[in-house]
Each structure stands twice: as structure tokens, then as C-alpha cells.
């Protein structure tokens, strides 16, 4: 009887997802999963626990989708079959839909690894249904305060998930040593911890000293951390007067960040030193790559496989993805919080061939509170002289923010309808120019349906 229920849920979910895509109503990443969970509430646990090898979870504020994409590419290069929520739907319904798409109609999941990007606020719920052997935490920034609360709240939820998991099975943490909030997640737990971080960061043909929104990072003694190096936000080399300081990483790197790529020099005890190039812009993506490298080394994957896996990586939709719309080059980069938006702006502000479309929604998955727009450093665009189009539910709010950032109101055009805004922006492009589209999460999902018709 149970098998029949699973099979029914899988069949209906696959059919629903196919129908959604057929009528261009979206990517079919969440609704099918909700339906499946109504039919068979334990179907996610049933599928994921078929994993032949380790279950891997990636969580954190920024970089989950790209980091898990890097990991998937390396595992694939190593000949491992991976079931992965590659489209980035990272709440329980999205995980369920993704695992069903990876399974056969009779409920068989043929995977060496289940690789799961999970929303940091939902991770504590997810471990009631399955438990990972490996957990990567990328970073912790202020993000959608109306949904998550302050950083302490998010960190406590992740710690609760860790505690639940280690009461059932061993867990290895792969943690960003440069983020004090992440590094502290391993405190007071008896488990294996692997730390990664950068010793040196060099920006090539870019302005290196760009002010990112300030984040308060405090030591467990209550004092605010001091820094000998800050890379962005509160990520860097920190220390406290009480004697506590940044954890020395097992995986150490230096990086040269170029406008469209980065070169990482890695040092590890097991594989020695090696160099990797990633074809994605931004220091934030270099951090994502370093997280994936650290996990892969821990899994015993050779540096040769890691290098090829990363260099062959294809970007996920909306994560620094270069595509062509009506024959025009278009870069799509998700923005959803002050730090992430500022780092994206760093990569586009100095491009003389850029045109910009910023799409801001305030749906539940975006966070209803868009006050973060005032924390993001849009002042980086103060010298920008071309037209900027704003769109989405909060197109007017974004237009006001740009005006206060120093852009002339004559160079700001709000167009709330996303398709109309994309069409208008493409018409403005001149020979050799590139359109940068910066959407929030639900705007990105809406774009997936729209761009299917281009």
C-alpha cells in the first residue's frame, strides 16, 4: 500500500511539473512538491535515504546554489551519480519536487550522493526527514529579517539542526573560517570540522576598496571583533581582545579576482598546492568555489578531478549566467540582500558596455521587507550616466533608491511589468553593449517562464 502511495505521488508530481513547463507557467520547482507531500508526507525521506553514499547539504545566506553546482560538477567529473536540486528551490517542497524529478516512476533514486541546497531557516525542519553526513555553511549575513530574524536566530536554527543530526549519525562540518558567525557553528560540538578561508585577495582591473554594508560580528565574550584584514562584509581575519581569533583553515587559498573570472591558488595537507580558474565574476563566487573544493578534498577526490570539474562548470540560471536574448548578450545575477547586491554591483559598475535592469519583488520568498535596498551600496552607481530600468512589484521603490544614490531621475525608468521591462531594456542596447539583469528570487522565477518565449 505504501509503495502504491509513493508511486501515485511521483506520477502526479512529474505530470504537474511537465504541465507547468509546457504552458510556461514557471519552472515547476515548488507546487509539484507541495502536492506530493500532501499525498505522501514522508516521500522526501523515502527518496533521499536511498542515497548509496553520503548525503551532502549546503546552507548559508549567499552562494548555496552556486556552491552546490560546483560540488555537483566535481562529483560528476569523478564519475559519481548525484541527485541534486539544481534549480535552487531549497525549501521542503522544492527539495521534494527535485528528488522526485531525479527518481524513476516506481520510486527508485539511483544516486551515489544526494546533494541538497537548503534554505538556512528550513534546515532544522529538513533534518526531521533526513540527516546529512556532510554540511557546508557558506556565510551568514542579514537576509530577509521579516522571515529569519537576526543572525543569532539563524545561527541557532543551524546549530539545532547540527545537534539533531549528530544524535543520529556522525556529521562533518565544512565551514568558512573567514566568517566568524559560520566558524562559531562548530563550537561546543564533538564532531569533525574542516575550515576553509583566504589568506590574500587581489582585485585585478577593479576597485578593491569598495565599502560593503557593515555587519556586526561579536565574539562569544560579547566584544566586537577587530580585523587585520576585511575582504567583504564581516568576512576576513578577525581577533578579539579576549584572545579568541580566526580559526586557522585546513584549506588555505589566495585569489586574484578579475572582472569575469578568478584564479585560486589552493594549499591543502593532502593534495599539496594547486591552481584553479573559475569562469565567474566576483569574490563571492571564489568563496563558493573554495567551499566546494574543501568538501571535495574531504571526500578524497583528486586535485586533477577538482580542477577539471570546476573549469567545466556551467552557471545555474540567474547566478552570473551569460545568455542571449534576441541575440543580445545578457548577464543575469540574483540579488536578495545588502551584501550580495553590493558585491554584484562591484562586478558591473565599471563595465563601460553595461546597461542595467533591476527587478525587485516583495513576495514571501523574497522577504516582504525591502528596506535592505537602503543598506545595499547602490551609491556605487552614482557616476553611471546611462538609463537604468527598474521593474517588479517594487519598481518605484527601487527607482527612489537609485535617485537617492545619485542617479539623475531622467536616467531612471520604472516599468513594473517584467516582460515589458526586459523588452524595453533590450531595445536600448547599442552595438557591443551587454544587459545586466539583477532580479530578486521570485522575479527570477518569473523570468524563467518569460524567457522561454524569447
Q: Catalytic one among 143, 187, 369, 375?
A: 369
User: What gap in Å lies between CA 127 and CA 203, rounded to an integer?
Assistant: 39
How many C-beta neighbours within 10 Å does residue 336 have? 22
Grid cell for residue 327: 541575440
Secondary structure E strands in 372-423: 388-391, 412-414
Bridge partners (DSSP) of residue 358 are 390, 438
Contact yes or no for 421/359 (Cβ under 8 A): yes
Strands in 55-59's sheet, in edge-to-edge order, are 82-84, 113-117, 55-59, 134-137, 172-176, 192-203, 251-257, 262-268, 272-278
How many C-beta neighbours within 10 Å does residue 430 have? 9
283-298 and 303-311 helices cross at what angle (nearest 10)?
Answer: 140
Residue 354, judged by CB atoms within 10 A of its CB (0-12, 13-18, 19+), counts as middle
Task: Considering only CA atoms, give the Rg of the chain.
Answer: 22
Residue that is written with C-alpha cell 573554495 in the block: 290
User: What gap in Å lies between CA 59 and CA 392, rounded to an integer?
Assistant: 27
User: What gap in Å lies between CA 98 and CA 271, rounded to an integer?
Assistant: 34
Grid cell for residue 226: 577587530
Three-class SS state of 228: strand
Assign 3-state DSSP to the chain and report helix, strand, coil percentages, each to 5.
40, 20, 40
146 is catalytic: no
Pairing mode, strands 55-59 and 134-137: parallel
Known catalytic residues are 369
Amino acid at each position: 500500500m505504501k509503495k502504491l502511495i509513493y508511486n501515485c505521488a511521483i506520477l502526479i508530481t512529474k505530470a504537474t511539473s511537465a504541465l507547468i513547463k509546457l504552458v510556461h507557467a514557471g519552472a515547476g520547482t515548488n507546487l509539484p512538491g507541495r502536492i506530493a507531500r500532501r499525498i505522501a508526507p514522508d516521500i522526501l525521506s523515502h527518496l533521499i535515504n536511498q542515497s548509496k553514499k553520503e548525503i551532502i547539504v549546503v546552507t548559508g545566506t549567499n552562494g548555496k546554489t552556486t556552491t552546490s553546482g560546483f560540488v555537483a560538477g566535481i562529483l560528476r567529473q569523478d564519475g559519481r551519480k548525484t541527485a541534486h536540486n539544481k534549480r535552487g528551490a531549497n525549501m521542503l517542497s522544492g527539495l521534494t519536487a527535485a528528488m522526485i524529478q531525479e527518481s524513476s516512476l516506481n520510486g527508485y533514486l539511483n544516486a551515489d550522493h544526494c546533494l541538497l541546497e537548503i534554505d538556512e531557516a528550513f534546515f532544522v525542519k529538513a533534518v526531521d526527514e533526513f540527516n546529512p553526513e556532510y554540511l557546508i555553511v557558506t556565510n551568514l549575513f542579514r537576509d530577509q529579517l521579516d522571515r529569519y530574524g537576526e543572525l543569532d536566530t539563524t545561527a541557532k536554527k543551524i546549530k539545532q539542526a547540527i545537534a539533531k543530526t549528530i544524535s543520529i549519525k556522525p556529521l562533518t562540518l565544512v565551514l568558512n573560517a573567514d566568517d566568524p558567525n559560520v566558524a562559531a557553528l562548530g563550537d561546543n560540538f564533538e564532531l569533525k570540522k574542516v575550515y576553509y578561508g583566504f589568506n590574500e585577495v587581489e582585485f585585478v582591473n577593479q576597485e578593491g576598496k569598495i565599502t560593503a554594508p557593515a555587519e556586526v560580528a561579536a565574539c562569544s565574550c560579547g566584544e566586537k571583533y577587530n580585523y587585520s584584514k576585511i575582504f567583504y562584509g564581516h568576512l576576513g581575519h578577525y581577533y578579539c581582545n579576549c584572545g579568541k581569533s580566526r580559526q586557522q583553515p585546513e584549506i588555505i587559498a589566495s585569489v586574484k579576482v578579475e572582472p569575469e573570472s578568478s584564479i585560486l591558488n589552493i594549499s591543502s595537507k593532502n593534495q599539496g598546492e594547486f591552481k584553479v580558474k573559475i569562469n565567474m565574476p566576483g569574490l563571492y563566487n571564489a568563496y563558493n568555489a573554495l567551499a566546494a573544493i574543501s568538501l571535495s578534498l574531504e571526500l578524497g577526490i583528486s586535485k586533477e578531478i577538482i580542477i577539471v570539474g570546476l573549469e567545466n562548470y556551467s552557471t545555474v540560471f540567474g547566478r552570473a549566467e551569460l545568455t542571449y536574448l534576441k541575440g543580445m548578450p545578457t548577464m543575469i545575477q540574483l540579488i536578495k540582500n545588502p551584501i550580495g547586491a553590493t558585491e554584484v554591483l562591484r562586478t558591473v559598475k565599471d563595465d563601460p558596455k553595461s546597461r542595467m535592469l533591476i527587478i525587485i519583488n516583495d513576495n514571501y520568498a523574497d522577504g516582504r521587507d525591502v528596506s535592505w535596498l537602503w543598506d545595499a551600496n547602490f551609491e556605487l552607481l552614482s557616476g553611471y550616466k546611462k538609463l537604468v530600468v527598474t521593474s517588479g512589484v517594487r519598481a518605484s521603490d527601487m527607482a527612489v533608491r537609485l535617485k537617492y544614490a545619485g542617479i539623475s531621475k531622467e536616467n531612471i525608468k520604472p516599468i513594473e511589468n517584467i516582460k515589458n521591462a526586459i523588452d524595453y531594456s533590450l531595445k536600448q542596447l547599442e552595438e557591443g553593449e551587454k544587459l545586466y539583469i539583477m532580479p530578486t528570487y521570485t522575479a527570477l522565477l518569473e523570468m524563467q517562464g518569460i524567457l522561454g518565449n524569447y
